[in-house]
Structure formats: structure tokens, C-alpha cells
Copies of this chain bind each other. A is one copy, B any other.
Amino acid sequence: MNAAEHRLEPLLRSLEVRSNLDEADRQALRDLPFKVRTLDASTYILREGDLPESCAILISGFAYRQKLTGDGARQIIALHITGDPLDFQHLFLDVADHSIQMLTHGAVAMIPRKDIQHLVHTRPAIASAVVSNILVDSSISREWVLNVGRRDARARLAHLLCEFGSRMGALGLGGPDSCELPITQEQLADATGLTSVHVNRTLKALEAAGLIARSKRMISFPDWTRLREVGDFSARYLHLQIQESG
């Protein structure tokens, strides 16, 4: 990363995956006031029940959304990567209905609600980008319901990995056949509605079948085509403007 790069540049890249902004829109976004908070892994960005007054944008690292059942079981609801807006929801709703936590060390830009609201009201292209972002998050949630509800462990994990790889690829993070995946097997279990033990066994099976390879916090996809088949993955629901191989 260019040391002099504007801190909100990842947000622009993320929005421009799906929406067209002109130079004035881009500049208006760059001119937003914001505070950067550097956060360690597992720090809460937002807690269920909060009434946030500013909007968090993930400008480096990874994060996730989660909900808990009454008896403490955890479900990860979404994964987020550098550039993702985490909080557009609270431009329109008051109470947070879920929590957001850092997955890795990273940084977040906090932008006052009213400043983004002002841009949304004055710049149609930005309003459209904001709502599109909200809608794509919503589409991903629906796909997760299908994934958790109707696919077996093998397909479920393969699908999750395909989604992650595709989204990383669309943002230019990670090469065509490998990317960073800094997540524990327990978190993977919480994202897929499985047990960490079963995730471990299923991951090993995928690896033995030559569909993935793991090392440290990286994952690679030696046979992307077959991984997509196994995971029953089609990228349509991600609404990427350029439909890629994944």
C-alpha cells in the first residue's frame, strides 16, 4: 500500500466494484471527516443493542458479524474484508440487531452518521452505491441461509471458501488461486453452523481431494473449478459487475 494513500481509498475501491462514481463523488467521499481506530483481533466494533452515532468502515484487516442464541451458541452471520462498510444500516435504523467484531488486527474509519447522510441526500450516485452495498449484504445473507439450511458440511465449507476467494479476488486482494484466510476452524464452524471438530475433518477431506491447500493463514485453490462444483457455487448473488470465473 502506498504510504501516502488516503485512508478511505479501500472504501472507494469496494464501492466501485459495483457502482459507478464520478470524480466529484470520489472526492466528496475523500472529504468526509473521520477518525481512525486501530483495533486488535476480537475487539468489538459494535454490540447488539448499541445506538451508533457514527458509521464504521473497515480500512484494513478482517471483521465479522455475529449473533448469539440464548444459551450462548454463536453464529457468524457475515465476513468482512478491507474496504467493506460495516454500518450503513445505522444510517436508517437505530438499534443494532447484531454485533460486529474484528477477526484480525486492523483499522476502522469512523464517519459521523450525519455526514454520510448528507452525501446520500445530495449525491444520487453515492446514495445508489450505499443502497447497493446494503442490498448485496442482504443477498449474501440469503445465500447463507441456503448454505446452512440445505448443504452438507463438505459443500457448505467449499461454498464459504469460494465466496471468500471471489470477494477477495474482486477487490484485487490475493492472486487468482490463493488468498489470505486468517480464520480459526472454530470461527469457520460458527460461520457454517457446524462443530470445529467436524470442520477440521471436512477441511482435511477437501485438502486430501486436492481442492484446497492450507498453510498458516493462507489458503490456495489448486482446483478452483472443482471446488466451485463441490460447493455448488455461482457468484451471481454477489452482484459483481464483471462476472469472473468465480
Contact = CB atoms under 8 A, between A and B. Distances in A.
Interface of A: 48-49, 65, 67, 69-71, 73-75, 77-78, 89, 92-93, 95, 97-98, 121, 124, 128, 131-132, 134-139, 141-146, 148-151, 155, 192-193, 232, 236-237, 239
B69 A232 contact: yes
A139 B97 contact: yes
A71 B93 CA distance: 38
A139 B96 CA distance: 10
A77 B78 CA distance: 16
B65 A142 contact: yes
Given A134-B138, A141-B145, A148-B193, 15 more contacts: A49-B236, A69-B232, A71-B232, A74-B150, A75-B150, A95-B236, A97-B236, A98-B139, A134-B135, A138-B141, A141-B141, A144-B145, A145-B145, A145-B148, A148-B149
A217 to B, nearest CB: 24
A170 to B, nearest CB: 16
Number of copies of this protein chain within its complex = 2
A21 to B, nearest CB: 15
Given A97-B139, A232-B69, A237-B97, A75 B134 contact: no
A93 B148 contact: no
Task: Please list the 4 inter-chain residue pairs (A to B) with the smallest Cβ-Cβ separation, ordered nearest first.
Answer: A149-B193, A141-B141, A138-B138, A70-B232
A4 to B, nearest CB: 34
B151 A148 contact: no
Given A69-B150, A131-B131, A137-B138, A145 B239 contact: no
Contacts of A192: 149
A132 B148 CA distance: 26
A48 to B, nearest CB: 8
A142 B141 contact: yes
